[in-house]
Amino acid sequence: MPFALLRRAHKLHGTAWARVARRRAIDGRTYAATGGALEQVLPAFRKVTGDDGVSLGAVVREQHGRDESVHSCCPPDVVVWPRSVEEVSALAKICHRHGLPIIPFGTGTGLEGGVGAVKGGVCFSLRKMDRVLDLHQDDFDVTVEPGITRKALNSHLRDTGLWFPVDPGADASLCGMAATSASGTNAVRYGTMRDNVLNLEVVLADGTVLHTAGRGRRPRKTSAGYNLTGLFVGSEGTLGVITKATLRLHGIPELVLSAVCSFPSVQAAVDSTVQVLQAGIPIARIEFLDDVMMEACNRFSGLSYPVAPTLFLEFHGCDKSVQEQVAATEDIARDNGGSHFSWAQDAEARQKLWKARHDAWYAALALRPGCKAYSTDVCVPISSLPCIVVETKKDLKENHLTGPIAGHVGDGNFHCIMVMDPEDPDEMQRVHQFTERLARRALSLDGTCTGEHGVGLGKRTLLQEEVGPAAIEVMRNLKATLDPKNLMNPGKVV
């Protein structure tokens, strides 16, 4: 179950750390974390990172045992802060020697419980590795360390005329975004992380340092051997620790124009999306918010948009091309009953216009103060969008669930933000059943159970249904080859 309660944070009292002993089993494998083993590794960790690079504090461990998902906190036994790939490699070798699980941690903004230490172990917090290493403006690429976030990178790039467009909403770390194959609002034009990662430096479970496309290589394309870069993008920390990423950059467009348009029905809004894409209009963003989400956003952000199914659109290019895109899109929208167009060109006006979309998570939570939210996502072929969104709205209403919808409908991906009372077992069960139905509805339409959140803890069974036993067996064999002791973020994905 996506909402299965995981083990509670264990408490360590005083200097009793050395007396702690536990054994954990997963997928037929046993992990041992004895007081003696911990006594051995802690001095070794401190020798690598210094005293300030290791923490046993309960608060620190709990901070690193949770993400933004509904899953319970699962703190690691130790948190370490390496400052270089050499330190990551040295720490991994220690963990490998003593059979300790390794859980990479970026900013903790994931949505599927991917950072929980469900079998204990060592959290590698990568926030101290936050440099931009190499920028090649003429080649449109940059190499970064794992701790830098997308906003920090774009701030660094602001005077170059370049930007990194993958935007999952949260200010996530870039290598964390690679690990989860993040996507976001700009994917319809600029692609996802899979399309924008050229090379990765990865530390494997035994401390080996791997360069997925060769050390220092950054071609725009290659036919050389297996696509190891693609293998690690989306691996969710289960194959290695990403310590460096070479990313594709894009030119900042000459003109950016944003718009909001409301529709009489979900069908009309999603039909417009499909028709815009079928017309070949190179739109940069096309986001959908249903009427429930629009009402929530109006309340939360003090806005006054019509409470109706709504598209948020953005156009990039030169002045002439943008005007052509706008005219064609307006014609399509009006043919589907679209109205109440609001336009914005300067940065401040565009930021205000997009505020509703960016604040959707918090606006949904504000619908039911004191409750929690769980965001689930699916992705289907574009032509199937109208059907699945309409059916999902009907499902929510029939089961008396609060689940405003927001989505990157330009690439067939949308989210239900389920707002629920975790103390109400009946509601929790109904939410669980709904999310299972939603995922299987997407699978029945030749889609996927997750477009961008990843598998983590909550969607392992659905992944098996999606790809089938042969593919799962290949994944497990790859995992066993790269991580024979199953130390890398065990209990996730496969």
- Phi, psi dihedrals of residue 45, rounded to the nearest 5°: -60, -45
Query: Which candidate, 9, 13, 22, places its Cα nearest to that of 63?
Result: 9
Whole-number Å distance between alpha carbons of 45 and 301: 46
One-letter identity of residue 147: G
pTM above 0.75, yes or no: yes
One digit per residue, the tens of pLDDT, for the chain of length 494 reads: 333 333 333 333 333 333 333 434 444 455 555 456 777 899 999 999 999 999 999 999 999 999 988 788 999 999 999 999 999 999 999 999 999 999 999 999 888 889 999 999 999 999 999 999 999 999 999 999 999 999 999 999 999 999 999 998 889 999 999 999 999 889 999 999 999 999 999 999 999 999 999 999 999 999 999 999 999 999 999 999 999 999 999 999 999 999 999 999 988 998 999 899 999 999 999 999 999 999 999 999 888 899 999 999 999 999 999 999 999 999 999 999 999 888 888 888 888 888 778 889 899 999 999 999 888 999 999 889 889 999 999 999 999 999 999 988 888 999 999 999 989 999 999 999 999 999 999 999 999 999 999 999 889 999 999 999 999 999 999 999 999 999 999 999 99
One-letter identity of residue 456: G
Which DSSP string do the residues of 23-87 spell out, in sequence order? EEEETTEEEEE-HHHHHHHHHHHHHHH-GGGEE--HHHHHHTS--SSSSPP---SEEE---SHHH
- Phi, psi dihedrals of residue 57, rounded to the nearest 5°: -60, 135
Query: Which candidate, 27, 2, 33, 5, places its Cα nearest to that of 490?
Result: 27
User: Does residue 198 contact residue 214 with C-beta atoms inside 8 Å?
Assistant: no
User: Does residue 365 contact residue 422 with C-beta atoms inside 8 Å?
Assistant: no
